[in-house]
Each structure stands twice: as C-alpha cells, then as structure tokens.
Amino acid sequence: MRRSSNQDSGYASSRLLAIADGMGGAAAGDLASSEAMNIIRELDRDLDVDALDALAQAVKLANARLGELIRRDPAVEGMGTTLEVMLWDGEKFAVAHLGDSRAYRLREGVLTQISDDHTFVQSLVDEGRISRDEARVHPHRSLLLRALLGRDDNEADLSWLQPHLGDRYLLCSDGLTDMVTDDVIARAMASETIDMAATELVRLALEAGGVDNVTVVIAEFVEAGTDPDEHLSCADGQPQLVGAASQQARPRTGNAASGHDEPVNFDPEELRYAPREPSRRRWLRWTAALVVVAAILAAAGTYAYKWTQDQYFVAAQDGKVAIFRGVQVDIPGLTLQHVEELTDISLTSLSDFQRRQIESGVEASSRADAYKTVAELDITPPAPTATPTPTKTTPSTKASRTPTAANVVWRP
C-alpha cells in the first residue's frame, strides 16, 4: 500500500517452496531478492546429492552472486535479502532460514512458527528481556542481525523437517507478520483451500496498513498421486514465480539509479541493517581507524603511567619499613613501583597491629605524607639483655649422700 516497487520474491512448486524479502531500498533490495531466488529455484529438479547439502550449496552460490554484483557496482553495496526455503527430497523437507521471513506449520488446527527470527528484538525475547507482544511494537523490530548480504559472516540455519499428512505450510515475508497476529494467521490458514488462505492473508495484511510488500507461499501436504482441485492455482502443475524475480531486474548505473525519472524517496528498508562503505576504500578506512585507536591507547597509557609515578605508599622491604613510589599493583612484565627510601626501622620493633598494616601497605597522598606515616610509627626499642656475673665455686670433696629418685631401690 505504501511502496512503489516490490522487493519480495516468491516461488512454489511440488518440491520447492521459497521466499526472499529484499532489503536496502534504493540500494537494490529487489535486485538482491530476485538474483537469490533465480539461483535457489535451480534446485527444483531431480537431485543426485543430499537435499540439505544441495540447499546449503545453493545458498552459498546466491550469497556469492550478491557479492559479485556489489563488486561490479559498489553503489548497490548494502543490498541484501532474507531467505526461507523448503526443499522436498521424497521423504522430508530440507530447510534453510536466514533473516526475518518466517515459516509456519498448521497441524490439526494448531499453528506453529518453525523458524526463529534473526532480529534484534528476537534476541531480547530469547533473553527474557521483553515479551513477544512487546516485540511486535518495538521500535527496532525490523533490525536484522543476519541476512544474505554477499559476505561470508552470515550463514543460514539448515535443518530437516518431517511433515505429516494434512499439514499446511506457510512461508511469508514480514509484510504479513508485522501486520497480522499469529492467531489471525491460524484462522486464515484453516480456510477451505490454500488459495483461499493465501488470498485472505494478503487481504488482512493490506487492510491492516500494508506498510511493506506482502508475499505468502502456502503448500498442503497430501498423498502422492492426489489430483489437485481444478480451481486451485497449482492445478496445471506448473511452478509459480512471483514478485521481483518474475520481472525484469531494474537497470543499474554507477549511482544505483532506480529506473524512474522522479527522485527516490527515503525507504525505511534502508535501516534494516547497517550498510557498509564501498569495498575499494574500506581497507584505508580500517587502517586509519586502527591508527587513531592505537594513538589514543598510547596517550592514555602514557598518562596512566605518569600518574602512578606520582603516588606513594609505605610497605615492608627486606624486613624493614620502606617508602615506595608508585602503586601497589602487580602486572606481569610491567613495574609500577620502586623503593624511594629504605628506613632503619625493623618490622620486629613494631606492634603486631602496625606490622600487619605495613606488610599490607599504607597508601599516602604524597611523598611528605609517606614520611609522616613513618614518623608516627610506635617503635618499641629492644629490651636490654642481662649479662650474668660469674661466681667462684668450691668443688665438693665429698659427694652428697642424700638419696635421690635415681639411686633409690626399694626391696621387699
């Protein structure tokens, strides 16, 4: 209802379901989603490899394609896309998820979200800091933490999914989920046919405001060989491609022209992730930033060291009281203290209380304060040692005959 171009791309066939929600506004979100979708839909064929491995490889190729487009035209750097893919291998689904496009399952009337949003607000929900209801109205609810951006630092979540007979699956862009709550989605998904469900979901999103493109892909899991209702859009058995990928990609120039003569208005999609500078000058900016940071750290370190050398404290050194310059901090490889003066005051001449204080270290506000601390110590002089006067003894000429315990023997 509010956008002049469709940046979503959707695809559906009997073996492949996919949706991509392009981002970046004027930075070519439609180009990102269509290029990614054109690679992903190559999986819609008989595969001679594991489905999950094939899906993982296709996602990497799509990411590499975006990187190639960005290198060719730095003006489109900042474009990206979400991705939600389900690939049927004959027994189960291989699933890839990246971004905030969602996958839901309706089983026996119960709707379950089977993907986890890669968003800032979802991280807050996971940490218990906000509720899911609060997340729906959070001002940063569209801020993505992961998306397909042509870089190597955002990998998709890959998993297997086992369907049951009667399951209905919904893949949708956030143009639906930002406008329609899960309980309303559940009622629409329970419509008589999947075509009716798709039509109803798009209508509900548009009536709620339609602030973004709305794309839904719905599939129903049925027994093999079941003929589809002739009134369904899939009755002809042909794959369905919608959105940006079904149209000719917009022409690009060095300034990322939109292909329209009128000026491009501000698009909130540009704020969904942090765009980066063109790669040709990025290393220069990183180098300059590192040099500035190193200079700041060096200046801060010099100032901090100078400050430590203006500090004093009184502590023990070799069993005596000493005045130290610096701070009492032990840092491996760095000396922040040295003895300013070693006094003649022995620790043994102090009271137990003062000795323990000195051994622990007494901080001083200045050099003079350190000397004052030493001067105020209560020093106990050592007690004099008495020297015994030798006396002359006359040796006994006759041993004492007084019996002692050592030479008395009792006899019966």
CA distance 146 to 152: 11
Residues in contact with 109: Cβ distance below 8 Å, sequence separation at least 6, in sequence order: 186, 190
Q: Is the pLDDT assigned to residue 253 strictly greater than 70?
A: no
Residues in contact with 5: Cβ distance below 8 Å, sequence separation at least 6, in sequence order: 30, 244, 250, 258
How far, in Å, are 268, 331, 397, 400 from residue 404 at the CA level? 113, 69, 19, 10
Helix axes 29-40, 51-72, angle to 10 degrees: 150
Q: Indicate the pLDDT class of residue 275, thresholds 50, 70 and 90.
A: very low
Which residue's structure tokens are 């490899």? Answer: 49
**Type of residue found at 45:** R
Q: Give per-residue pLDDT as tens, 185-222.
A: 999 999 999 999 999 999 999 999 999 999 999 999 99
CA distance 327 to 322: 14
Q: Is the pLDDT assigned to residue 245 strictly greater than 50?
A: yes
Q: Give per-residue pLDDT as tens, 79-132.
A: 999 999 999 999 999 999 999 999 999 999 999 999 999 999 999 999 999 998
SS3 content of the chain, % helix, strand, coil (to 5): 35, 20, 45
CA distance 120 to 124: 7
Residues in contact with 261: Cβ distance below 8 Å, sequence separation at least 6, in sequence order: none
What are the structural domains, with CATH classification, of the chain?
8-276 (3.60.40.10), 312-375 (no CATH)
How far, in Å, are 119, 120, 233, 286 from residue 116 at the CA level? 9, 12, 29, 33
- Asked if residues 195 and 232 have their Cβ atoms less than 8 Å apart, the reply is yes
Q: Give per-residue pLDDT as tens, 1-42.
A: 888 889 999 999 999 999 999 987 655 899 999 999 999 999
What is the predicted pLDDT for the residue at 264? 40
Q: Give per-residue pLDDT as tens, 129-158.
A: 999 889 888 888 889 999 999 988 789 999
Residues in contact with 134: Cβ distance below 8 Å, sequence separation at least 6, in sequence order: none
Tokens of 39: 């690679």
Rg over CA atoms, the chain = 41
Closest CA relative to residue 9, chosen from 218, 195, 246, 211 = 246
Closest CA relative to residue 249, chosen from 236, 240, 259 = 259
CA distance 173 to 150: 20
